[in-house]
Structure 1
Amino acid sequence: MTIGEDERRRRWRLLLGAAADESCGRPAGRDAQVDAALAALYDNGAAGGGGRDRSAGLGGSAPRVARWLGDIREYFPSTVVRVMQTDAIDRLRLNQLLLEPEMLGAVEPDVHLVGTLLSLNRVMPEQTKGLARQVVAKVVADLERRIAQRTRAAVTGALNRAARVNRPRHADIDWGRTILANLKHYQPEHRTVVPERLIGYGRRGTAVQRDVVLCVDQSGSMAASVVYSGVFAAVLASMRALRTSLVVFDTAVVDLTDQLSDPVEVLFGTQLGGGTDINRAIGYSQRLITRPRDSIFVLISDLYEGGVRAQMLRRVAEMVASGVQVVVLLALSDEGAPAYDHGNAAALAELGVPAFACTPDAFPELMAAAIQRRDLMAFAERFADR
């Protein structure tokens, strides 16, 4: 769709701000209100000498911030609102204002806001905690709707395939694989395949088939990953065929497995920020693994190790040698690859352990691949090319 010169000039003016008044004209009406909302965030003290400062910014007033949050929800779609909220927290240092109920009630809940609230939950006043839990609960419910069904389907399918049998009952036949396995028996005159070998899914009832340990770095840079990990851990824990453990760490290690029935409690059991001792966390996780060849260990960390690096790598090598499927995710979020320790990632790759950033939408496929003991290095390379 082509746009006219006036519309093009209007858009450039909203993008560039007051510095473009002379060339693009001043906005009027609703555009002036949109411009003011943008200026409060992006022009406050940041004009850099080009043009005037349109706004005194959002200042330190919770009511003023709450009004601004209401404005941007009126003028912009929810996806843009979330970006602007995140920018406001980063650029204008609004963390403390999130402790005030009036502002917290005005924000658009999303994963980044939950991460910020979790980082503040130890200093949050009592009158704000209830509302903060409501915000977190809403985001968790939205995430569960997004990921639960797909995760259960992927994991259940992988478990069934891992238990494949060659004398299945009719209802358990995997027709796709059966046809592929019998193509050499194709009968042209009948235009059909004679299935001399049947391949089907095994049934193992409610027995625990795999042990899954999620070990999550809760340093400040991992906020979104902590949120997604908590929700995924709760979904996996709801599946009887899996025994799921959740361990979070900074310089200390906390086992949140007994809280997995309530992902909101899980998230409030974390404490974002602080140092990182990956070695200690892996050492604790090793004690949870009693069936190595039926176990999957997922470390979610940017790999900036504050503990004993050599011992960390030795522990990982021991798990790999014992048959544990080990995966390292540099992030479990929608943001892509974060800053991470390239040296540690390379050392893990030499041990045959992939280290890559994974989006939440790809995590079910990753778990399915790990359950079937597929080549996870190949999976990581394919995912990196997406």
Structure 2
Amino acid sequence: MTNESKAISVNRWRLVLGGMSDKSLEFSGDPDEIAMFQDMEDLLDYLYSRGQGDDVRDEGRSGGQGGSVINAAEWITKVRDLFPKQTAEVLECQALDKFNMTELLTDKKVLEEMKPDIQLLKTIIQLKHLMSGEVLQAALKIARQVAEEIRQKLESTIKRSLIGRLDRNTSSALKCSANLDFKKTIRRNLKNFDKASGQLILKDVYFSSRVKKHNKKRIIIAIDESGSMLGSVIYSAVMAQIISELPFADVRLIIFDTNIVDLSDHADDPAQTIMSVQLGGGTNIGKALAYCESLITTPCDTCVIVVTDLYEGGSVSQLMNVSKNIITSGAHLSFLTALDENADPAFDKTLGQLLADIGAFVGSLTPDKLGDYIGRIFS
């Protein structure tokens, strides 16, 4: 091992062991390298001293090129400057999830520098009550970015599933291969068959339309605000947006705990829905379902989807009675115990079985599978 590689190994071990080992294991290298490693150690101490019950922000440390006291904005900026990207992201996640550094999300500059992803958005939802003004606007921007990224991944698959089978009885002005009506085109052109060449000459090509626009289907989505449903809340909001853009879909969107908030006017704005979530409090599924029942006008063209873990804090008998009424009316009733990328539910299986026994669908779905499911209901 060369002296240079040995020095690098020693310096890395020193970062692992922390500042308490400074007397027995010193940084080595030229002055700039030593200063860089001392700065890296300050950043790690800022984070990991919390695990020992200390807060190094209250201690005066010497060494390094930076000051001995740093704030969250400086910390995250320096972490990204000094550590590889993957390492920086691990440190950021641990700062939020393990050491509860909530100040990372109450500083506009920090929020603007963090990588927008669904895990960050979940944390923002949990800490939203600490935000205001420009910080809250920065959080809303992140919600829009994450929601848009999810929409782009899912939109084509969901719309293709929901548009459903072609309406072969109506011609379409939209001339694309997906709408080509082979049977009608061949049948109408049989009179143009050229016996000499043995070829069918196509003088007219016919295309089929999709499901008729006036055939409205009401899709009521009720989202449980429980903390365990965070991922499902985010995906449900994006699904509502995608479905609301379809010509035959009439989306009604509510969120609930013991109270109900009707966000139907914002069904096309998932970020607004996500940032309207208020975690905490109880859960009254029966009350929310009764409100959903009041939105049903044409039962056979209505699908009620309740995204919930089924841990009912209200009256179970009310929930069962309303569920029976909806199913008896001819509307479709579904309880999704998870709607996210994993579809890994934790729910009240006893209540779930009771609801399944009366004819409700109870289960978890990934968002793309929800598109297939709704498409089958209305096919």
Q: Could you say whether these structures have the same fold, taking a TM-score greater than 0.5 normalized by the shorter chain as the test?
A: yes
In the alignment of these two chains, the number of paired residues is 322
| Post-superposition offset of 1:306 | 0.6
The corresponding residue for 1:233 is 240
Deviations 1:286-343 (A, max 9, x none): 1111111111111101111111111102211222222222222112222442422121
- Aligned counterpart, 1:45: 51
Further displaced range: 28-37 or 102-111: 28-37
1:89 deviation in Å? 2.2
Partner of 2:262: 255
Q: Structure 1 unaligned runs (5+)? A: 1-9, 47-52, 177-199, 373-386
Match of 2:299 among 288, 292, 298: 292
Verify: 1:244 aligned to 2:256, yes or no. Answer: no
- Per-residue CA deviation, residues 213-261 of structure 1 (Å, 9 max, x unaligned), is 1110012222221111111111211112111110100110011001223
Identify if the C-alpha distance between structure 1 residues 39 and 123 changes in structure 2 by more than 3 Å, giving closer, same or farther: closer
> In the alignment, what sits opposite 1:213?
220
Structure 1 length as normaliser, TM-score? 0.68
Q: Give the corresponding residue for 2:114.
A: 107
Judge conservation of contact 1:63–1:103 (CA < 8 Å) in 2.
no
User: What is residue 95 of structure 2 aligned with on the other side?
Assistant: 88
Give the conservation status (yes or no) of the 8 Å contact 1:154–1:365: yes
Query: Counterparts of 1:49-68 in structure 2 under 5 Å?
Result: 64-67=71-74
Q: Is the 8 A contact 2:339 2:365 kept in 1?
A: yes
- Asked if 1 retains the 8 angstrom alpha-carbon contact of 2:252 and 2:264, the reply is yes
User: How do residues 140-289 of structure 1 correspond to structure 2 at under 5 angstroms?
Assistant: 140-156=147-163, 158=164, 160=165, 203-289=210-296
2:218–2:250 contact (8 Å) kept in structure 1:
yes
Distance, in Å, in 2 between the alignment partners of 1:35 and 1:362 is 47
Determine if the alignment matches structure 1 residue 349 to structure 2 residue 349. Answer: no
Q: RMSD of aligned C-alpha atoms?
A: 4.0
Kindly tell me: are residues 240 and 59 of structure 1, through their superposed partners in 2, closer, same or farther at Cα, counting changes over 3 Å? Answer: farther
Which residue type is aligned with residue 272 of structure 2? E
Q: Which residue of structure 2 aligns with residue 360 of structure 1?
A: 367
Q: Which amino acid aligns with 2:304?
A: F
Q: Is the counterpart of residue 340 in structure 1 residue 366 in structure 2?
A: no
Unaligned runs of 5+ in 2: 1-8, 60-67, 184-206
CA distance in 2, matches of 1:84, 1:343: 40
Q: Distance in 2 between matches of 1:326 and 1:278?
A: 13
In structure 2, the partner of 1:302 is 309
CA distance in 2, matches of 1:358, 1:83: 29
Cα deviations by residue, 1:336-369 (Å, 9 ceiling, x for unpaired)? 4242212112212222333222223433223323
**Residue matched to 2:128:** 121
Secondary structure at the aligned position of 1:251 is classed as coil
327-336 vs 307-316, which deviates more?
327-336
CA contact (8 A) 1:251 1:275 kept: yes
Matched, 1:319 2:312: no
Which residue of structure 2 lines up, in the alignment, with residue 375 of structure 1?
none
**Larger Rg belongs to:** 2
**Is residue 168–residue 201 contact of structure 1 (8 Å, CA) maintained in 2?**
yes
Cα deviation code 1:174-225 (max 9, x no counterpart): 779xxxxxxxxxxxxxxxxxxxxxxx96655321431101110012222221
Q: Where does residue 142 of structure 2 map in the other structure?
A: 135
**Residue aligned with 2:278, SS:** coil
* Deviation of 1:95 (Å): 2.9
For residue 279 of structure 1, what is the amino acid of its counterpart?
G
